[in-house]
Amino acid sequence: MLEVGDMIPDVCGLDEQGKSINLREFIGKKTVIYFYPKDNTPGCTKQACIYTQNNKFFLENNINLIGVSKDSVKKHNNFKDKYNLLFKLISDESLSINKSFDVWKEKSLYGKKYFGTDRTTFIFDKGGELLKVFSKVKPDKDFENIKDYLV
């Protein structure tokens, strides 16, 4: 896992419009990058909608907000449109971003093991240095954790 003081990784994904994005493009503003398992699932939808409801906080504090999952560009575009999400979503079908941030983990459900994204939030300063990591994030508490940390 990235540690406080590490720089934002030099990795690329596709945004919800299919445009290639390097995460280092966000250096210059504080940046919150959150990893979530899957579009249109109850927890992920709740988390994304809470962010959108609080979009004013991110705008007033000059903070980039980026969501990352392994969903396709098309799924991201549909998810963003369906819930009127006001921030960028990045598709990581190759898992290169998940693996760079070390959030692609073995999980277990009802005794069955599988790999998936650990819901994790990273906060970077405007120079691209990691300030804080929130692991095992609860979808309904993540925004409050971010807000409490940044103000």
Q: In this predicted structure, what is the pLDDT of residue 140?
A: 95
CA nearest 123: which of 74, 50, 47, 66?
66
Candidate list 11, 33, 44, 130, residue with the active-site label:
44
| Residue 12 is among the residues annotated as catalytic for this protein | no
Domain map (residue ranges) of the chain: 12-150
User: What pTM did the predictor assign?
Assistant: 0.95
Residues 15, 79 contacting (CB under 8 angstroms) = no
Confidence of residue 1 (pLDDT cuts 50, 70, 90): confident
**Do residues 27 and 127 make contact, with C-beta atoms less than 8 angstroms apart?**
yes
pLDDT at 102 over 90: yes
**Given 3.40.50.300, 3.40.30.10, 3.40.50.2300, 1.10.230.10, which CATH number is that of 12-150?**
3.40.30.10
Q: For position 109, what pLDDT does the model report?
A: 84
Which residue's entry shows tokens 């109850």? Answer: 42
- Which of 41-50, 71-80, 107-116 is predicted with the least confidence, judged by mean pLDDT? 107-116
Please state the rounded mean pLDDT for residues 70-84.
97
